[in-house]
Amino acid sequence: EQDKERKDEL
């Protein structure tokens, strides 16, 4: 979940 969230940053 955390990784999914983070990957929205450039």
Partner 1 sequence: MNVFRLTGDLSHLVAIILLLLKIWKTRSCAGISGKSQVMFALVFTTRYLDLFTNFISPYNSVMKVIYLGCSYATVYMIYMKFKASYDGNHDTFRAEFLIIPVGGLAFLVNHEFTPLEILWTFSIYLESVAILPQLFMITKTGEAETITTHYLFALGLYRALYLINWIWRYYFEGFFDLIAIVAGCVQTILYCDFFYLYITKVLHGKKLSLPA
Where on the chain is the footprint of partner 1 (CB under 8 A)?
A: 2-3, 5-10
Count Cβ neighbours within 10 Å for each residue of 1-10 and write b for 16 or more, e otherwise: eeeeeeeeee
Q: Output the smallest distance, CB 1 to partner 1, in A.
A: 10
What is the distance between the alpha carbons of residues 10 and 8, in angstroms, rounded to a whole number? 7
